[in-house]
Amino acid sequence: MVICRVLGPLEVVAGGIQVQVGGPQPRRLLQTLVMARGEPVSEDRLAEAVWPDEPPANPSASLRAYISRLRRTLGTETLTHGPGGYALEADSDVLQFEALLARAGKAIRPSEALPAFRQALELWRGSPYPDLPALAEPARQDLEQRHATAIEDQAAALLAAGDAPTAVHQLRAAVHDDPYRERRWELLILGLYRSARQSEALAALREVRALLADDLGVDPGPELQNLERRLLAQDPALLLSATARTTAPQRPLTRFVGREREMGLLSEGMARSRLMTLVGPGGSGKTRLAVEWAPQAPLARLADVRSPLDLPSAIALALGMTETPAEFTGLSGLLVLDNCEHLTDAVADLTVALLAGSPELRILVTSREGLGIDGEHLLPVDPLPAPDSVALLVDRIAAVRPGWRPDPVEANDVARLAEALDGVPLALELAAARARVMGLGEIVELLGSRFPELGRIPRNALTPHRTLEATVAWSVDLLSEPERAMLLRLWPFEGGFSLEAAAAVGCDLTGLSSLVARSIVSADTGMVPTRYRLLEIMRAYCREHDPDAAGSALLHAVWSRELVARTVDDLRGPRSARAIRVLNRELPNLRAGLAHDLAAAPADALHTAALLEWFWLRADHITEGLRLLDQALAGAPEAPNLDRARALSAHGTLSWLSGDLLQSKQLVGRAIEVLGAAHADEEQRLLGQLRYYEGLLHIFAGDYRAAETSARASVTLARATDHTWFGTLPQLVLGAALDGQGRTHEGRTILLEANRRAQEHGYGWAGAFGNMLLARSLLADDAGAALDPLGEALRLFERENDPSLMLSCLVYGALALLRRDRPLDGATLHAAAFRHAARRGIRLSKADPIIVEALETAVAELDSTVAASATTAAAELSEEAAIGLLSQVAQAQ
């Protein structure tokens, strides 16, 4: 990183080391580029700056020589050339100075602005741009004016923060350096008055009046004159307000972790509004955030205030008042009202009165719901994200285990703890305290499915509750009885839920809105539809306190079954990509519903798991689908034949992708036997699907005549059921079967027509699979021609979110490239495809043995150097990059 310091003699730091740039010409050149703030500067403008008096005979050549030397010193990426000229990509003390002043200007509290003012003024070492006397004059004057103002703003912040002696010391030097700036005299006089040096303040008034009259022939300005009148009248408002003199709340002794984003949003919000409310669930750290952001502000703790009549006295106590006034007026500064959720209406009314009676007052509230006041700004305080929650746990565990550092096993346990406790700071603190007497793995196991019993909260903690359960119960007990009943039924949902899902367990929009407003349920409005969620701690509480937990679990399971039933037909049609997204989003809920049904209603579990066949297949959940189908088939031996046949079919499909072609054929055969005679539409559709699978498996086994027989039977059944999307797939198998028998023209014509129909009807997956089968047939006689349909298959599979078959496309593409005499690319794709398939649990070697055998033979014949290079390249090639490589090759054909 390069830093150019021009607020005084030029200094250049590159990579943390000060470097020399040469004589006056390169110094002028560099300062001109710095002054442009990263914008390009033309050669003419640079030449004018470098040679203000007598330019050389060939300024362009000389300028480029200086540019070349600077590039060697600073780096070519630092000094670049473009259409507009030369530009410097470097930091500078000017930019740092301005950024620090901007930070100070955004600060709400004077004490917060002081560090930024100090750092900004420390950057100033002399006159800016010293080697550019004429050219830089406007920029120099602007910076010098901002510097002078910053000196005064720093002094004003010191006075507002109550440090009058330091302000006076600085202002003595400031008025000496620039005695005609009246604001410096105003601040100095005010500082002397606040330091109980009234006679010196009056003397300073006389001094500045005489100075202005003798040297400039003018009287003091209106500000100084007004200050003189107030000083002589001993106006009490010249002293600090009561709120500035109150004692700040006691700060916690533990380290504050995370919350940088919230601290920034809090500063921005309070700069725009006089009222801001931190809202969030119990234990999320609202009070700690408020105390860290406003360490000097008076804080009224309202958790123990039970009656609205006691609110004024609690606020008076926080403000340091000996008596409670009839009305609060004339207050200024910042007041924090903490834990207001149980007195929301009363706090709202009092807040309105406080703000109306004290125009200079600002209020920061912490509560589990907003006050509902016009002009109120809300800032949600959510649980900590994973990195911060882990950091908090490590910090607190180290406090009870001196010298502790997590080993790899403990680091994994810490991450599991943080996830299990949802990043709720209070729960994390209590779990860390348990680490004094228990191993981390034991604490994880302690959580289990019950509400976490993590012990009592430390005495000096900011929370008003003594246990984590008491913190949660405080929120629940504030609800009305209907709201509480709705809340307790929401616990079965895993990973969140939609409004439609909540309605299935008896929660309506009004009730859900109330729970969101009270920070008991979170709402992600950035998703469509809005996604709602209970913290895991709240879920555990609700599960234990739900009077009909079994009934709630059943309602949730019924909803998950109905969701699958509604969505399953879309998995193969034009809305398949949307259906995959919906089911992926609800996958935690589907798992929970299936787990319930496997234990309580195995026939329903079998039905649902079988309907999800194409979801397991296309969303890359093959291993999970196989496990659930095995469990459901074992648990429901008396289920209807249609469901058992469908489950066997699904098992066969997933077995094929998992690399067991023989088992896949056996399972499809068993499914046909179990189904028996197909009469109803649904039975015929399933039989047609099974014949389609049968034909496809025959193709991959090289038995093209048997594949033709199965495919024609499937085509007939598809026509009988009148499902256009289904009819496309058997046609694809029929075309591939005919092509495999040597009936190339007939077979490829059918393949192309089926692809056209898939595109016409918007069946993206069928179109992708058809292009893959077409490419497979072209590999035999025209490997180059196979690349184009492979590129189209990749495009459609990506749109349909089917990573498994995209990897199959890579296998075909690798063979095509090897046969097109591109050995390195082909071998690289081969190695990358098999590496990423293994990572996903897919055995490509068995899915299409004929193609894989041809590919392995071609790879084995490669030169050893090429093979080694391909292995190295594939190890660094991500799945996306491998797919991109084949797509690029296909597009280049």
The model's confidence at residue 239, banded by pLDDT at 50, 70 and 90, is low
Q: What is the pLDDT of residue 460?
A: 42
CATH of domain 260-380: 3.40.50.300
Task: Name the CATH architecture for the domain at 597-764.
Answer: Alpha Horseshoe (1.25)
Q: What is the pLDDT of residue 557?
A: 94
What value does the mean pLDDT take over residues 538-555?
Answer: 87
Q: Exposed, middle or buried, 446 (CB in 10 Å: 0-12/13-18/19+)?
A: middle
Q: What is the largest CA-CA distance in the chain?
A: 116
Q: What is the pLDDT of residue 705?
A: 94
CATH of domain 479-547: 1.10.10.10
The model's confidence at residue 365, banded by pLDDT at 50, 70 and 90, is very high
The model's confidence at residue 248, banded by pLDDT at 50, 70 and 90, is very low
Q: How far is CA 344 from CA 318, 380, 473, 518, 874, in A?
A: 19, 17, 18, 11, 61
0.75 cut: is pTM over it?
no
Q: What is the pLDDT of residues 677-700, one digit of tens each?
A: 878 888 888 898 899 889 988 988
Q: Exposed, middle or buried, 718 (CB in 10 Å: 0-12/13-18/19+)?
A: buried
Q: Can you read off the two tokens belonging to residue 533?
A: 């969620």
Q: What is the pLDDT of residue 149?
A: 92
The model's confidence at residue 603, banded by pLDDT at 50, 70 and 90, is very high
**Of the ranges 273-277, 296-300, 870-874, which is most confident?**
273-277
Using the Cα atoms of residue 550, residue 553, residue 557 and residue 559 in order, give the sign of their dihedral. positive
HEC states along 246-296? CCCCCCCCCCCCCCHHHHHHHHHHHHHCCEEEEECCCCCCHHHHHHHHCCC
User: What burial letters (b/e) apply to 466-483, b meaning 16+ CB within 10 Å?
Assistant: ebbbebbebbbebbeeeb
pLDDT above 50 (res 335): yes
The model's confidence at residue 893, banded by pLDDT at 50, 70 and 90, is low
Q: Establish whether the linkage from the previous residue to 52 is cis, with ω within 30° of 0.
A: no
Is the distance from CB of 224 to CB of 253 less than 8 angstroms? no
Q: What is the pLDDT of residues 480-504, one digit of tens each?
A: 888 888 988 998 998 889 999 999 9
Q: Can you read off the two tokens belonging to residue 590?
A: 């589907």
Q: What is the pLDDT of residue 466?
A: 43
Q: Calculate the average pLDDT of the chain.
A: 83
Angle, vertex CA 497, rays to CA 496 and CA 501, nearest 5: 155
How far apart are the C-alpha atoms of 741 and 681, rounded to whole Å? Answer: 32
Specify the DSSP element, H or E, that contains 378: strand 377-380
Q: What is the pLDDT of residues 190-202, one digit of tens each?
A: 888 877 777 888 8
Helix axes 724-740, 681-701, angle to 10 degrees: 30
How far apart are the C-alpha atoms of 197 and 215, rounded to whole Å? Answer: 27
The more confidently predicted of residues 568 and 122 is 122
Task: Name the CATH architecture for the domain at 1-153.
Answer: Orthogonal Bundle (1.10)
Show Cβ contacts of residue 627 under 8 Å, excluding neighbours closer than 6 positions: none
Show Cβ contacts of residue 754 under 8 Å, excluding neighbours closer than 6 positions: 728, 731, 732, 735, 766, 770
pLDDT above 70 (res 455): no
Query: Which range, of 259-273, 345-359, 397-411, 689-703, averages the lowest pLDDT?
Result: 397-411
Tell how far CA 572 is from the center of its chain: 32
The model's confidence at residue 352, banded by pLDDT at 50, 70 and 90, is very high
Q: What is the pLDDT of residues 256-281, one digit of tens each?
A: 888 888 888 888 888 888 999 998 87
pLDDT above 60 (res 519): yes
Residue 118: how many other CB atoms lie within 10 Å:
13
Strand, coil or helix: 56: coil
